Amino acid sequence: MSERRCFIAGNWKMYLTTTEGVRLAQELRNLLTQVRKVDIGVFPSALLLSAVAKKLEESNIVVGAQNAYAKGFGAFTGENSASQLKDAGAAWCLVGHSERRKIFGETDADCNRKIKELHGEGVNVIFCLGETIEEREAGTTFKVLERQLRVGLEGLKAPFPADLVLAYEPVWAIGTGRNATPDQVEEVHCWIRDWLKERFGATVGEALRIQYGGSVKPENAAQLLRVKNVDGALVGGASLKADSFVAIVKAAL
């Protein structure tokens, strides 16, 4: 039996002002203070990082960024480096979220550079992958996932300098209210697990955590978190309200 700890992460996307984010962080801190068996994280937009991280200091809730640039420093107007994010309080960072890939044109190779840069700074990574509805309907889901994993993780060697978590997020399930079924999730997560074992060896492949993301809410969390090889959830919409996020964390207990 593996000892993988469940990790429930809230992706706040480009929502909440600093005041609202700090208030939500305080509420979560109060409501989740007893939780010890599950890892919990919030991922506010970069502007909120310092304030939210300060509010969650010495709590059981970690803080992460949603994106980082792949270079250490330089003339890259509007971007944030891994070291700057870390300095602002981010212990984690998302890489390859489908909104980054689709809206901002991030490639698998960009994801690979970002993961390496973040790991080089000691920042833990949640690496997101997933197929579009067109890709699923065309029967190319595993081909797409294979490419995202192969290119995204190219050159990475275990032991990693910082943690790596995978998040399977079918694009058609993100923000649509339509989550993947437990059978669909199980099929993909088992396939990812096998890929990871093949690539990094049985021990590392077995230890890496794979979150599910895409319309996770209090009503479906317990069912999805029970699925084999599901080690947590990446939660968007339902992470913006304390009661729904807390209910999802509790479903993991």
Q: Tally Cβ neighbours within 10 Å of residue 134.
A: 10
Residue numbers at the binding site for ligand PGA (CB under 6 A): 11, 169, 174-175, 213-216, 234-238
DSSP strands (E only) in 46-168: 61-65, 92-95, 124-129, 164-168
Least distance to ligand PGA, CB of residue 96, Å: 11
Looking at the Cβ atoms of 139 and 177, the one nearer to ligand PGA is: 177
Q: What are 225's two structure tokens?
A: 């978190």
Looking at the Cβ atoms of 167 and 196, the one nearer to ligand PGA is: 167
Looking at the Cβ atoms of 175 and 182, the one nearer to ligand PGA is: 175
Q: Choosing from 97, 99, 119, 186, which is the catalytic residue?
A: 97
What are the φ/ψ torsions at residue 53 (nearest 5 degrees)? -60, -40
Q: Choosing from 99, 106, 131, 169, which is the catalytic residue?
A: 169
| Minimal CB distance residue for ligand PGA | 236
Least distance to ligand PGA, CB of residue 221, Å: 11
Looking at the Cβ atoms of 89 and 213, the one nearer to ligand PGA is: 213
112: helix, strand or coil:
helix
Q: What are 193's two structure tokens?
A: 């697990």
Are the C-beta atoms of 145 and 192 separated by less than 8 Å? yes
Does the active-site annotation cover 169? yes
Distance of alpha carbon 199 from alpha carbon 113, whole angstroms: 18
Q: What are 140's two structure tokens?
A: 């190319």
Distance of alpha carbon 71 from alpha carbon 116, whole angstroms: 10
Active site residues per annotation: 97, 169
